[in-house]
């Protein structure tokens, strides 16, 4: 007989909440409803637990011991509490193997997607959605060029690439696909049957092509000028592309000249150019616009090549609170989750002939070495130089030939097969002229570019001998023109040598020797060393064009006068400076040097608002500390506001107090744009509406103003002409608007817009609620499946700054207020005490959403905080959170 529990009178009136009692008390129908609900709840819990397990499964082991085949000796991987790895070994080869292993631990899916993109194989993973991208990339041949580069590299660089690949592959061999990344698990649920291929050295090189594409220069401006030319005179186009003001915005290098092919800081000289301009018809404009739209649809990870830039500056010991140089850098790139950079350190326990590295900083997953950072002797940073290294050519194509100077020349032909997941293979026929691949073969619109448009060269122009059937040069291209792309990155180069050369350099001469290999993308390189020197070097392949072509608009490929000469600006002739008298160097994509420089770099510089603000602050501070350099990186002063706000405050007759209350926000505004600023919110919405009201009626949608530095210069000029034609709204009949009419309407529209978006009370407005930083995973973060997007994306960060501001969180006024590009990382290096340096990443080092390091630097970044940058062994050990020992495998050959 079962013993009954003793009766407790204190519980006599307590209800019994057990499921069994509920089932007994409930009617039969309700019992089953409760049962089903309980089962569903249990299933949901089990699914959640399972999902968490799958999400956490790829998070790597970062403590303990593991085997890494191929190692010569044990390697230590010491990680701090943000997962940043500092690697210690006895040979360069072991450092590279371990770096590849660690990169695969943290970010292999990102690496795998990148190599599929750069090889034109995205369709293998994502089906038809990747096909257009694959066509463009295969046509340009990025992977083919990367494979050709391997033979050009120094043996030490090839060895490093091979060792890095060995480390990646060791990790892949030790883990199943679902253990490598949760993305593979989710894609598997969608039917992807896939096992990653071994990593190859060319996979690392191909990603450098993607970075060159992101920083390619003025190709978008070439197209925009053509689109504007159909509706506007050359004078009106000049209004939209003002000349660079050297007096207002000093170039990076003051003075200097090329003497016998060598740039000297104190020389002088002069040069001229006189290009011809082709005529463009409506079909040309539509086709080039279609090309731009197609290229804009390439994955976000490849960047947009427009509206991005960077800041870097360096001060010498006389301008430093430490008595030694301090160098700062923050490259501005598109935003993503994870971010483009990962921090790492590569340290030889002892520097020997077999072990030469002691370097730390930022690198790309999939690329060996450190791209930006410092070693024990020097520090360096990059900003985009932005030279014109791309040209679009209109080509006369007939059958398998193209025409130049009246001669039919054979096209270079090849055929490639693109495998498409879930679909039929696609056969791509690729054609090239001497200028480059025909991008028009990818686009149906481009295949008829210029149809029925006569060639512009007059019949008596001796430069145009016409085609076989048009000896007078007046060819009527009934079948249209093809469009070819010539770009320096489409030829094999030795940029990978430069990366490791910079990592090993110990002085100015070795730094410049490494920079001479940095072919694409061309960068402004700032330098500092522990001996107290600072410097600047412009590297890269910059083509020398013949007299017919300045690269500002697509050129006539049928005239050899428009060709590149085949020569490039010699490295020794590129601007450089060591220890300038003013004691600092500031670069922010402004003009490198004045117009007297004998070689053509570009006319499409950033207009210099950021660089001028940086210079002003460096001059005002006198001596700067690491903390003051950090504060300058976070400067949110809007350089256009000081020009525009007085005009806005002069506007009267706004109407009721409802509109005047908003205007009053600007009266005591200091022109800064922190996230919590109400005046900044109002100003930027006024700016957006001003651009809309002024230009949308007269410009094609594809070239509406984005509101960046060029538009600062455009509007500044127009403000001085209150009755100028650009102010008139062409959509209104019998009314001619003036500047003040447009400003008044922009202010009224901005007040109404912010009332709708945020609040009736102007004091409750904030810039950050408009200016959101959303970090999206490049593939599954755009899946359209809400739970998956929530897993991978990190959205909704209120940030300050703005376009063409030192804290350059760019936005596109033609689209909205959200952040389109931002400082992808920030670093400040103290050459007096490397351990006193600071850095921060946009996201975190991990690519696993289940890792605590997936986005653990983002809130710090948004708040303007930095992390200590441990470099010395003592500092690294003091900050250690995990230590992983990688041991040679007993089974290694």
The DSSP line for 1-28 is -PPPPPP-GGGTT-----HHHHHHHS-H
Q: Does the annotation flag 391 for ligand binding?
A: yes
Which residues fall within 8 angstroms of residue 447, CB to CB, at 6 or more apart?
Answer: 440, 441, 480, 482
Give the sign of the dihedral formed by CA 580, CA 569, CA 383, CA 810: positive
Cα Rg of the chain (Å, integer): 30
The answer to whether 656 is a known catalytic residue is: no
- Which single residue is written with the structure tokens 């897993």? 791
616 and 566 Cβ atoms separated by less than 8 Å: no
Give the tokens for residue 296. Answer: 């804009």
Q: Which of 673, 699, 670 is nearest to 687 (CA)?
A: 673
Q: Does the annotation flag 154 for ligand binding?
A: no
3-class state of residue 256 by DSSP: coil
Q: Which of 379, 236, 220 is nearest to 315 (CA)?
A: 379
DSSP 155: H
3-class state of residue 93 by DSSP: helix
What span, in angstroms and rounded, lies between the C-alpha atoms of 371 and 342?
Answer: 10
Q: Which of 312, 308, 304, 307 is nearest to 382 (CA)?
A: 312
839 and 826 Cβ atoms separated by less than 8 Å: yes
90 and 72 Cβ atoms separated by less than 8 Å: yes
- Write down the catalytic residue from 123, 162, 204, 310: 310
504 and 510 Cβ atoms separated by less than 8 Å: yes
What span, in angstroms and rounded, lies between the C-alpha atoms of 884 and 79?
Answer: 8
Q: Is 253 exposed, middle or buried (0-12, 13-18, 19+ CB in 10 A)?
A: buried
Give the tokens for residue 431. Answer: 């054609």
Q: Is 117 exposed, middle or buried (0-12, 13-18, 19+ CB in 10 A)?
A: buried
3-class state of residue 347 by DSSP: strand
What span, in angstroms and rounded, lies between the C-alpha atoms of 891 and 893?
Answer: 6
Q: Does the annotation flag 8 for ligand binding?
A: no
What span, in angstroms and rounded, lies between the C-alpha atoms of 48 and 444?
Answer: 47
What span, in angstroms and rounded, lies between the C-alpha atoms of 796 and 800?
Answer: 13
535 and 203 Cβ atoms separated by less than 8 Å: no
Identify the helix (H) or strand (E) that includes residue 757: helix 739-757
Inter-residue long-range contacts of 732-741, CB under 8 Å, 24+ positions, other chains counted? 739/647, 740/651
What span, in angstroms and rounded, lies between the C-alpha atoms of 719 and 716?
Answer: 5
Give the tokens for residue 212. Answer: 């060159």
Cα atoms in the 13 Å half-sphere on the side-chain side of 138:
26
3-class state of residue 340 by DSSP: coil
- In degrees, to the nearest 5, what angle opens at C-alpha 198 toward C-alphas 196 and 202? 115
Neighbours of 552 (CB within 10 A): 19
Three-state SS annotation for 763-804:
HHCCHHHHCEEEECCCCHHHCCCHHHHHHHCEEEEECCCCCC
357 and 502 Cβ atoms separated by less than 8 Å: no
User: Can you say how many angstroms the Cα of residue 700 is from the centroid of all Cα atoms in its chain?
Assistant: 26
3-class state of residue 287 by DSSP: helix
Which residues fall within 8 angstroms of residue 673, CB to CB, at 6 or more apart?
Answer: 636, 637, 638, 680, 683, 684, 767, 800, 801, 802, 805, 807
What span, in angstroms and rounded, lies between the C-alpha atoms of 208 and 498?
Answer: 12
| Residues marked as catalytic | 310
């Amino acid at each position: 007989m079962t013993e009954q529990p003793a009766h407790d009178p204190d519980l006599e009136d307590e209800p019994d909440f057990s499921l069994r009692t509920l089932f007994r008390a409930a009617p039969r129908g309700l019992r089953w409803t409760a049962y089903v609900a309980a089962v569903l709840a249990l299933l949901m819990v089990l699914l959640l637990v399972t999902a968490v397990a799958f999400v956490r499964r790829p998070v790597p082991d970062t403590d303990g011991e593991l085997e890494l085949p191929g190692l010569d000796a044990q390697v230590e991987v010491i990680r701090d509490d943000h997962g940043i790895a500092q690697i210690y070994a006895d040979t360069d080869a072991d450092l590279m193997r371990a770096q590849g292993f660690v990169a695969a631990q943290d970010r292999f899916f990102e690496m795998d997607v990148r190599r599929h993109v750069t090889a034109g194989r995205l369709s293998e993973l994502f089906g038809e959605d990747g096909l257009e991208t694959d066509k463009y990339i295969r046509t340009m041949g990025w992977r083919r060029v990367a494979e050709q580069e391997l033979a050009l590299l120094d043996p030490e660089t090839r060895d490093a690439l091979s060792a890095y690949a060995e480390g990646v592959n060791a990790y892949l061999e030790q883990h199943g696909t679902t253990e490598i990344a949760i993305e593979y698990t989710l894609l598997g649920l969608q039917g992807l049957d896939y096992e990653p291929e071994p990593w190859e050295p060319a996979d690392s090189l191909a990603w450098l092509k993607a970075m060159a594409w992101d920083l390619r220069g003025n190709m978008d401006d070439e197209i925009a000028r053509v689109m504007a030319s159909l509706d506007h005179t050359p004078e009106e186009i000049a209004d939209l592309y003002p000349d660079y003001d050297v007096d207002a915005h000093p170039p990076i290098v003051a003075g200097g000249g090329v003497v016998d092919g060598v740039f000297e800081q104190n020389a002088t000289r002069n040069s001229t150019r006189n290009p011809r301009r082709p005529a463009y018809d409506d079909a040309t404009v539509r086709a080039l616009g279609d090309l731009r739209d197609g290229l804009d649809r390439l994955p976000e990870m490849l960047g947009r090549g427009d509206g991005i830039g960077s800041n870097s500056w360096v001060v010498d010991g006389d301008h430093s609170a430490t008595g030694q140089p301090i160098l700062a850098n923050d490259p501005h790139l598109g935003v993503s989750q994870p971010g483009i950079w990962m921090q790492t350190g590569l340290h030889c326990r002892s520097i020997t002939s077999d072990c030469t590295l002691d370097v730390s900083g930022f690198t790309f997953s999939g690329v060996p070495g450190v791209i930006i950072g410092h070693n024990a002797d020097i520090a360096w940073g990059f900003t985009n130089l932005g030279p014109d290294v791309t040209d679009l050519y209109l080509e006369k194509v007939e059958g398998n030939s193209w025409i130049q100077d009246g001669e039919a020349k054979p096209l270079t032909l090849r055929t490639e097969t693109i495998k498409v997941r879930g679909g039929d293979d696609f056969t791509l026929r690729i054609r090239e002229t001497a200028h480059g691949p025909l991008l028009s073969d990818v686009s149906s619109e481009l295949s008829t570019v210029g149809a029925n448009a006569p060639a512009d060269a007059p019949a008596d122009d001796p430069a145009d001998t016409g085609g076989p059937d048009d000896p007078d040069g007046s060819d009527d291209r009934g079948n249209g023109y093809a469009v070819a792309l010539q770009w320096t990155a489409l030829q094999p180069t030795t940029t990978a040598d430069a990366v490791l050369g910079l990592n090993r350099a110990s002085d100015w001469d070795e730094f410049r020797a490494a920079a001479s290999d940095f072919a694409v993308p061309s960068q402004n390189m700032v330098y500092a060393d522990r001996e107290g020197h600072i410097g600047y070097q412009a590297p890269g392949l910059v083509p020398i064009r013949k007299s017919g072509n300045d690269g500002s608009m697509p050129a006539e490929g049928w005239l050899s006068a428009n060709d590149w000469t085949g020569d490039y600006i010699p490295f020794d002739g590129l601007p450089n400076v060591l220890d300038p008298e003013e004691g600092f160097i500031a670069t922010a994509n402004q003009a490198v040097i004045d117009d007297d420089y004998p070689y053509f770099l570009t006319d499409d510089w950033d207009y210099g608002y950021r660089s001028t603000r940086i210079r002003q602050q460096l001059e005002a501070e006198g001596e700067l500390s690491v903390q003051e350099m950090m504060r300058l990186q976070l400067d949110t002063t809007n350089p256009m506001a000081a020009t525009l706000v007085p005009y806005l405050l002069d506007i009267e007759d706004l109407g009721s107090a409802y509109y005047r209350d908003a205007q009053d926000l600007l009266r005591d505004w200091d022109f800064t744009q922190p996230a919590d600023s109400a005046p900044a919110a109002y100003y930027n919405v006024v700016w957006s509406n001003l651009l809309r009201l002024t230009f949308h009626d007269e410009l094609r949608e594809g070239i509406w103003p984005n509101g960046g530095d060029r538009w600062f210069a455009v509007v500044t000029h127009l403000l001085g002409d209150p009755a100028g034609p650009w102010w008139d709204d062409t959509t209104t009949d019998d009314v001619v608007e003036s500047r003040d009419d447009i400003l008044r309407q922009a202010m009224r529209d901005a007040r109404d817009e912010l009332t709708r978006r945020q609040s009736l009370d102007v004091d409750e407005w904030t810039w950050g609620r408009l200016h959101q930083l959303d970090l999206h995973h490049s593939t599954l973060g755009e899946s359209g499946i809400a739970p998956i997007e929530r897993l991978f994306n990190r959205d909704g960060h209120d940030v300050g700054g703005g376009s063409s501001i030192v804290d350059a969180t760019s936005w596109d006024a033609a689209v909205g207020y959200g952040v389109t590009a931002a400082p992808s990382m920030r670093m400040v290096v103290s050459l007096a005490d490397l351990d006193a340096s600071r850095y921060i990443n946009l996201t975190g080092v991990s690519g696993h959403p289940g890792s605590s390091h997936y986005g653990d630097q983002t809130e710090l970044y948004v708040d303007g905080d930095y992390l200590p940058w441990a470099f010395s062994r003592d500092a690294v050990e003091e900050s250690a959170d995990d230590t992983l020992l990688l041991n040679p495998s007993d089974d290694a050959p």
